[in-house]
């Protein structure tokens, strides 16, 4: 699966590498930091894609001295390099395979785990590389997708999601890997419905979410979870 990020497949299916979602995600990250009174000075993102999240965060967090984005995709970093400035830098690199001598304050892992073949090894590779980690993980596995598995298959083909999670399962995995969970909340879908059926599902999903957030994520999915964790030190 890793080849799709370097053979042009992912770029063809997602030519702007999801830039349109960056303002929403950056705003949610900012909210989570404010809620927990965290003021990082150095931020690194693993799987930064086109780098747009860091660009948006740099405007929201003027006190941050350094933003660094890493990705295994040459295609993604080629897009990100155009956005570099004195505070933001990008590099093709798998940080989980590197022995870093210094830690950063905050590590961002935004919509990455679901793409990783061996995400257990990936999570172990994060140890000792930051004080805190923020994860953003889609909750694709729900009652709706169990009955409509083609949605999961389409997600695999279009955006490379090779793992599907529920809230309790992925939080359990993070704890098993030594991350101390501090805070988390749901983030709503950002895609716009194109058909009448999709609009009806969206109305139903939002109605259910108002009544019971957890139940809505388990029944109709479409939501993700944003998690703040204390990193395990080596």
Residues 6+ apart with CB under 8 A from 143: 218, 219, 220
Per-residue pLDDT of 98-118, as tens digits, reads 776 678 999 999 999 999 999
Q: How confident is the model at residue 1 (pLDDT cuts 50, 70, 90)?
A: very low
Q: Is the pLDDT of residue 194 over 80?
A: no
Please provide the average confidence, as pLDDT, over all residues in the chain: 91
Residue 156 burial by CB count (10 A; 0-12/13-18/19+): exposed, middle or buried? middle
Within 43-195, residue ranges assigned H as helices are 52-60, 74-80, 119-124, 143-147, 150-159, 167-176
The model's pTM: 0.91
DSSP character at residue 70: E
Average pLDDT over residues 77-103: 89
Alpha-carbon span 39 to 186, nearest angstrom = 22
Fold classification of 2-191+223-230 (topology level): Rossmann fold (3.40.50)
The two tokens of residue 127 are: 């140890």
Per-residue pLDDT of 133-173, as tens digits, reads 999 999 999 888 888 888 888 888 878 889 999 999 999 99
Alpha-carbon span 219 to 216, nearest angstrom = 5
Delimit the domains of the chain by residue range.
Answer: 2-191+223-230
Helix (H, G, I), strand (E, B) or coil at 15: coil
Average pLDDT over residues 40-52: 96
Alpha-carbon span 121 to 137, nearest angstrom = 17
Helix (H, G, I), strand (E, B) or coil at 117: coil
């Amino acid at each position: 699966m890793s080849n799709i990020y370097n053979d042009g497949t992912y770029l063809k299916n997602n030519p702007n590498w999801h830039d349109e979602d960056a303002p929403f995600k950056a705003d949610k990250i900012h909210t989570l930091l404010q809620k927990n009174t965290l003021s990082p000075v150095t931020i690194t993102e693993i799987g930064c894609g086109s780098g747009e999240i860091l660009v948006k965060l740099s405007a929201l967090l003027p006190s941050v001295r350094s933003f660094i984005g890493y990705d295994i995709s040459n295609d993604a970093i080629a897009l990100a390099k155009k956005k570099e400035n004195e505070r933001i830098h990008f590099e093709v690199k798998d940080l989980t395979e590197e022995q870093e001598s210094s830690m950063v304050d905050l590590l961002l892992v935004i919509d990455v785990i679901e793409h990783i073949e061996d995400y257990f090894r990936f999570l172990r590779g994060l140890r000792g590389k930051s004080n805190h980690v923020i994860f953003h993980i889609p909750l694709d596995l729900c009652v709706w997708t169990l009955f409509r598995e083609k949605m999961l298959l389409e997600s695999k083909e279009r955006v490379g999601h090779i793992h599907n999670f529920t809230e309790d399962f992925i939080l359990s995995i993070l704890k098993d890997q030594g991350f101390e969970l501090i805070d988390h909340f749901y983030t709503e879908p950002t895609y716009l419905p194109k058909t009448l059926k999709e609009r009806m599902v969206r109305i139903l999903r939002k109605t259910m979410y108002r009544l019971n957030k957890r139940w809505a994520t388990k029944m109709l999915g479409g939501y993700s979870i944003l998690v703040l964790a204390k990193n395990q030190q080596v």
